[in-house]
Amino acid sequence: MNTSGEGILFTKMHGNGNDFLIIDNRLGEIPGHELPDLALRLCRRRTSIGGDGLMAVERSDRGDIRMRLFNCDGSEGEMCGNGARCLARYAFEKGMAPARMTIDTLAGPVVAEVEGVFATLDMGVLETASALRGQVLILSGERLVYSQLNVGVPHTVIFQDPGDERAEMDLARIARAFQSDRERFPQGTNVNFMKIRTTGEIDLRTYERGVNDFTMSCGTGSTAGAVAAWLEGKVSTPVEVRNPGGVNTVLIDEEGPGRVRLFLKGQTTAVAEGVVSGECLQIREP
């Protein structure tokens, strides 16, 4: 059951600071058309529980469970690496799925394995020819070099100079300019700013589509950044990707010419469980 007499039962978890509210909707007690509005209400900071997104666990004929992901702006996302890792641990600890499970997502089935507080996702196979490398966009006179990849969701990876210390608000302007370019990015895009360390590690900050802001961590962004750097010969696998909220590890396994299988591993944290009050659910944004 995901409801009580007073409100909706929830669990809050985060993957390296990328935080989510998870509800059990396997019985379909909350109609699917109501989930976008529920995400808007529950993900508000300060006046509600707060989170980067809402995830609903549903029944699936294609996997052990189905993941419905709604960003904090109410839009539905195809896939989220950190979210799926949190959902995997949640489902395992609640007895909904085995430690090695298949999660049905809009981006296709994703295999996850839970080991304590860590969860690893098989992100599937990427045809490296599909990655657009060495792309250039001139913005306000600045030449920005980027790669474009789809790792379940579209990601732009901007190669940032290691000495670039500009403020996040300035990077946000660049990210919004990329996202508003519907000719290049008809489905929108997540925008990653990547610095490659001399040690072979990556520093990454992601401005997420649907969140419309930087998040503390992004699993698919970490995967995209690692692959983009690896394709340019800048790093070797496994790749340690340092997000502001923590480290994700990306393993790149070459399956054949032009084909790589990607794995994402990172820590998850269970924050709280509780009931969202009916009073909170009735509050609308001014």
Whether 184 and 227 map to the same domain: the answer is: yes
Whether 142 and 258 map to the same domain: the answer is: yes
Task: Write down the catalytic residue from 43, 72, 86, 218.
Answer: 218
Amino acid at 78: E
pLDDT value, residue 280: 78
Whether 42 and 103 map to the same domain: the answer is: yes
Q: Is residue 135 a part of any domain in this protein?
A: yes
Q: pLDDT digit string (tens) for 103-134?
A: 999 999 999 999 999 999 999 999 999 999 99
Residue with tokens 């394709």, as numbered in its chain = 231
Residue with tokens 């839009």, as numbered in its chain = 75
Residue 264: closest CA among 106, 67, 54, 86:
86
Tally of residues, the chain:
286
pLDDT value, residue 47: 87
pLDDT confidence of 282, banded at 50, 70, 90? confident
Amino acid at 28: G
Distances (CA, A) of 225 to 51, 154, 231, 254: 24, 12, 10, 17
Both structure tokens of 208: 């997420």
pLDDT confidence of 6, banded at 50, 70, 90? low
**Average pLDDT of the segment spanning 45-51:** 92
Contact 110, 122 (CB under 8 A): yes
Residue 57: closest CA among 82, 100, 99, 86:
86
Whether 110 and 133 map to the same domain: the answer is: no
What is the number of structural domains in the chain? Answer: 2
More confident residue, 152 or 90: 90
Q: Is 80 annotated as catalytic?
A: yes
Both structure tokens of 60: 């699936």
Whether 49 and 152 map to the same domain: the answer is: no
Q: Average pLDDT over the chain, rounded to whole?
A: 93
Whether 57 and 137 map to the same domain: the answer is: no
pLDDT value, residue 285: 57
Amino acid at 181: D
Q: Is residue 73 a part of any domain in this protein?
A: yes
- CA–CA gap between residue 26 and residue 44 (Å, rounded): 24
Q: Is residue 1 a part of any domain in this protein?
A: no
Q: pLDDT digit string (tens) for 13-38?
A: 999 999 999 999 999 999 999 999 99
Q: Is residue 56 a part of any domain in this protein?
A: yes
Q: Is residue 252 a part of any domain in this protein?
A: yes
Whether 132 and 261 map to the same domain: the answer is: yes
Q: Is residue 48 a part of any domain in this protein?
A: yes
**Complete DSSP assignment for 130-176:** GSEEEEEEEETTEEEEEEEEESSSEEEEEE--TT----HHHHHHHHH
Whether 101 and 143 map to the same domain: the answer is: no
Whether 150 and 202 map to the same domain: the answer is: yes
282: CB partners within 8 A, 6+ apart:
none
Q: Is residue 94 a part of any domain in this protein?
A: yes
Say whether pTM exceeds 0.85.
yes
Q: pLDDT digit string (tens) for 188-236?
A: 999 999 999 988 899 999 999 988 899 999 999 999 999 999 999 999 9
* Residue 112, helix vs strand vs coil: strand
List, in sequence order, every beta strand (DSSP E) within the chain. Answer: 7-15, 18-24, 53-58, 65-71, 76-77, 100-105, 108-115, 118-127, 132-139, 142-150, 154-159, 190-196, 202-208, 213-215, 239-243, 246-256, 259-267, 269-277
Q: Cis peptide leading into 238, omega within 30 of 0?
A: yes
pLDDT at residue 3 greater than cutoff 60? no
Whether 64 and 110 map to the same domain: the answer is: yes
pLDDT confidence of 283, banded at 50, 70, 90? low
pLDDT value, residue 1: 38
> Domain range holding 45?
7-117+269-282
Task: Write down the catalytic residue from 43, 80, 86, 280.
Answer: 80
Whether 148 and 253 map to the same domain: the answer is: yes
Least confidently predicted of 71-75, 105-109, 275-279: 275-279
pLDDT value, residue 138: 95
Beta 100-105 vs 65-71: how paired, if at all?
A: parallel
Q: Is residue 81 a part of any domain in this protein?
A: yes
Which domain CATH number covers 276?
Answer: 3.10.310.10
Q: pLDDT digit string (tens) for 138-165?
A: 999 999 999 999 998 999 999 999 999 9
Whether 40 and 147 map to the same domain: the answer is: no
